[in-house]
Chains A and B, each alone.
Chain A
Amino acid sequence: MNPKVKWSIAAVLILLLLGGLYMLEQILPANSIIFTVLQKGAIYSLIAVSLNLLNGFTGLFSLGQAGFMLIGAYTYAVLTIPPESRAAVYQYYDGGIIDFALPVPVAMILAGVAAGICAFLIGLPVLRMKGDYLAIATLGFAEIIRAIVQYDKLGPITNGSNLLRSFPVFHSTLFPFIVSGICIAVICLLINSSYGRAFKAIRDDEIAAEAMGINLFMHKEMALVTSAFFAGIGGALLAMFQMMVQARAFTSAMTYEILLIVVIGGIGSVTGSVIASFLFIASSEWWLRFLDEAQFIGGMQVPFLRPGFRMVVFSVIIMFVVLFYRKGIMGTKEFSIEGIYRFFTKGRSKAGKGAK
């Protein structure tokens, strides 16, 4: 397909999507569950794709995504709370020691940079070693950073174990869609660049990659830092979505959730991660909610339905997906305009032959 045609179609689809979201916001009440799902789904898409860059495209196994998100969320929150609100937020720490607020875009980029710097430092010792030490190191980092942030002595900056709030948040679903969309597009550009090819070479065969002159350590660092950078931005988005941050929430369970999304979507498929994020968030936040509430049919209470049952069903569904779709929804394939075009043209030419 002509690239110009392809890009035009893509542009039209993006405009349609954004237009559709805008329309939705005019029609539905602002507290509709659909917006929760769309916003959180978009944010998780970015974080899942950032993890996929490591696990799926570079063959590095990291379990630190929640830690990088935490760094991003805190960096964003700490740097954007308006000075006039600080006295209330940092009430136990005399209003904290920071008395400025950065513009939102600057703070978001710094959120990514802070997470990237942490990743770089973790990578320095770990990525020189052969074997899967990265998983252990990043998991350890995520646990430790959660404790450090809550450390009382850091309270004037991090507010200790109290939550951070009053920072600027978004008011339209378009915001997380646009930010995540741009970030995912950049990741895709990277994956399809010469560096992305080098990452995939490392994933396929480290020894051969090294023999072709690819410096394993440097390229792994690049993948790790890039992944953390975007996880940091994802963390900032999540903070905005929740309208507050608290270190306690960024547990390893959060990392596993994201890992699960990547596996369900297909390790090595960007579109798979995105689709799986929305499905995952929709099921956990919306479709399966009714399982947590007692339901009555004709005056009879349906058995099993009580708080917590949702997670049981959810786990069973996940188990089935992992068992029967071992490669995830998409495998390593991508959902593309070209693919759809080919699908339809193939179908048509076959039909044409059949008619003659």
Chain B
Amino acid sequence: MSENILHVENITMQFGGVVAVNNLTLDVGKGEIVALIGPNGAGKTTAFNVITGVYEPTNGRVDFQGQMMLQNHPTGKMAKAYKGENMGMYKHTMVKSPDAIAKLGIARTFQNIRLFSELTVLDNVLIAMHMRAKQNIFSATFRLNYKEEQRMRRAAMELLEIQNLQHLKDDIAGSLPYGIQRRLEIARALATEPKLLLLDEPAAGMNPQETQELTDFIVQIKDQYDLSIFMIEHHMDLVMQISDQIYVLDFGRLIAQGTPEEVSNDPRVIEAYLGVSEDAED
């Protein structure tokens, strides 16, 4: 039980009549790299948004580090409109805001990069350290937190150095090339001192060489920061290389799960996902 850092159980996310995620159950083990794959519109990002508190799930529960973090069941109008399963299995409602979940130790990146685009690279990272800094608005305003601020700046520069971004610290984040923005977003997520890192298509828009660098980088930070990683990714070579476990989503439903070999040989997966991309490549 405590082996799993994240446990997602029977999560259904229904928007009006659209069931974006349908009865999803999955686990992320401590220290593992777990991938979530599936065709466009399968509900992968929606699953991330539920785990990070952006959406309240319609039904189901999520545990983090062996403790219940989220739980919900359809109520009001949704009780009638609900199209998912396991209705009535969850009696309680427990919601958390995204900042509370970040504080528990889940950090994320976004599919459509969401940096603080008008601020500098260094500020982007410093902002992610704000919530854990030992200070209040008075001590920060009157610089009584001088030591803490210095510590934050040092830690932020270290994170930038790992990513080889230190020379860009005073650049405006929004003006940087796409690939660098993606790397900065990971640095920013690491600055929240997470235990679980969610990456939404970290290699999107990267060339094969950049993708390989990113692959190595993900393994490196996982070991260095003692992380567990849960990622959505379309680059199959990246996924197959480093994943301990793969979950395949199609139309909101889990259609397969297992090790990279198991999944890549699963006929349903080949049909729903890999087959499509092979066709597309022809």
Contact = CB atoms under 8 A, between A and B. Distances in A.
Nearest to B126: A197
B103 A213 contact: yes
Contacts of B107: 211-212
Contacts of B99: 210-216
Interface string B131-144: 11101010011110
B52 interface: yes
B200 to A, nearest CB: 11
A174 to B, nearest CB: 24
Nearest to B108: A211
Interface in A187-204: 189-190, 193-195, 197-198, 200-201, 203-204
B108 A213 contact: no
A21 to B, nearest CB: 27
Interface in B126-159: 126-128, 130-133, 135, 137, 140-143, 145, 149, 152
Interface in B223-247: none
A204 B126 contact: no
A354 B224 CA distance: 52
B117 A195 contact: no
Contacts of B114: 205, 207-208, 211
A190 B138 CA distance: 9
B116 A211 contact: no
Contacts of B133: 194
Contact of A197 (B100, B103, B123, B132): B123
B128 A213 contact: yes
B131 A190 contact: no
Contacts of A190: 137, 140-141
Contacts of A212: 99, 102, 107, 127-128, 130-131, 188, 191-192
A200 B127 CA distance: 9
B85 interface: no
B273 interface: no
A205 B131 CA distance: 16
Contacts of B118: 200, 203-204, 332
A33 interface: no
Contact of B141 (A195, A204, A215, A216): A195
B116 A194 contact: no
Contacts of A222: 137
B130 A198 contact: yes
Most chain A beta carbons < 10 A, residue from B97, B98, B107, B123: B98
A204 B115 CA distance: 8
Contacts of A332: 118
A110 to B, nearest CB: 18
A115 to B, nearest CB: 17
B110 interface: yes
Given A207-B54, A209-B127, A215 B140 contact: no
A195 B140 contact: yes
A186 interface: yes
Most chain B beta carbons < 10 A, residue from A190, A214, A332: A214
Contacts of B152: 194
Contacts of B132: 213
Contacts of B135: 194
Interface string A288-319: 00000000000000000000000000000000
30 contacts: A189-B143, A193-B141, A194-B133, A195-B130, A195-B140, A197-B123, A198-B130, A200-B116, A201-B116, A204-B116, A204-B118, A204-B119, A207-B54, A208-B114, A208-B115, A208-B116, A210-B102, A211-B102, A211-B108, A211-B110, A212-B99, A212-B107, A212-B130, A212-B192, A213-B103, A213-B132, A213-B192, A215-B131, A216-B97, A222-B137
Interface of A: 186, 189-190, 193-195, 197-198, 200-201, 203-205, 207-216, 222, 226, 332
Given A211-B54, A211-B114, 7 more contacts: A195-B130, A197-B130, A204-B118, A207-B114, A208-B115, A214-B131, A332-B118
